[in-house]
Amino acid sequence: MARIAELLSAGRTWSFEFFPPRSDAEQATLTRTIHELEPLKPSFVSVTYRGGPESRKRTFDLVTAMLHMTTLTPMAHLTCVGHTRLELADILVEYRKAGVENLMALGGDPLRTGEGRASELGHAIELVELARAVGGFSIGVAAHPAGHPASPSLGADRARLAEKLALADFAVTQFFFEPEQYAALVDDLARRGLAKPVLPGIMPVTSLASVPRMAEMGSPVPGWAIERLGSAAERGGDGGVRAEGIAMATELCRTLLELGAPGLHFYTLNRSTATREIYRALGLAPALSPTS
């Protein structure tokens, strides 16, 4: 199994993110998606984690299945929420026993009432420290080009990112839409003496219905992009919106690579079509079947 820090040292990486299925139907969709994306030979893939015993098992099962049954290099997400320090240490040890070497250390969103116990660790940096103590992991952390929604200011968010990235190996950003935000983030870290890789996160807008949800996630779609999508809807309906969203994401990827980004990380939502289309447009993959 490859360590992501080593992959990044060797050159640009291309990676995909999945979430664990919660039903047989979601499992079937994810299985098909993995089958369709595996031929693209991504550098690694990541699996999200929401917190709590049920999500813990789903993430662990998916990560270890990928490790032992596919050619993919998986990275497990882990959050502080809903766990004691001892529980988190146990999870980390189990991952190492299973051969998993790549970890995304996250603070995590607060659990809803009744979903789990109070968290013993309050911030991702504490989880990074714990993973370092366990040993054997290549560790990533999250970055927010526009600042984390819960941060009191952009400056405070960047300062906290610099602290945890100093202990980690790399960062992956939340999705965003304007390359200037990514460039400003990397420049800010450089001024703080940090030159570790920061992978930009990419999520194309494939429907107008997703726009409000993206804003809720802390990455609002900018006005100029909404105008482009609206014009596309007038010309071509839902299909036009999807095509325009793919085009905008492709443009963003090209600009980020021109800026020197160390790779691209695609939020797939457990679907393959959009990612494969962007791959083909960027010349990263051969022509593949258009099925999704």
- Tell me the catalytic residues: 17
CA angle 243, 266, 103 (to 5 degrees): 170
Which DSSP symbol is given to 99? T
Q: How far apart are CA 162 and CA 124, in angstroms?
A: 12
SS3 38: helix
Q: Crossing angle, helix 223-258 and helix 273-282, to 10 degrees?
A: 50
* Cβ-based neighbour number of residue 12 at 10 Å: 16
Q: Which two tokens stand for residue 179?
A: 């390359």
Q: Are 177 and 248 in contact (CB under 8 A)?
A: yes
Residue 283 falls in which region: left (phi positive, over 0), alpha (psi -120 to 50) or beta:
left
Q: How far apart are CA 122 and CA 25, in angstroms?
A: 35
User: Looking at residue 32, what DSSP letter applies?
Assistant: H
Contacts 24+ apart (CB under 8 A), 87-92: 88/120, 88/121, 88/127, 88/130, 89/130, 89/133, 89/134, 91/56, 91/60, 92/130, 92/131, 92/134, 92/137
Q: Hey, what are 287's tokens?
A: 């022509």
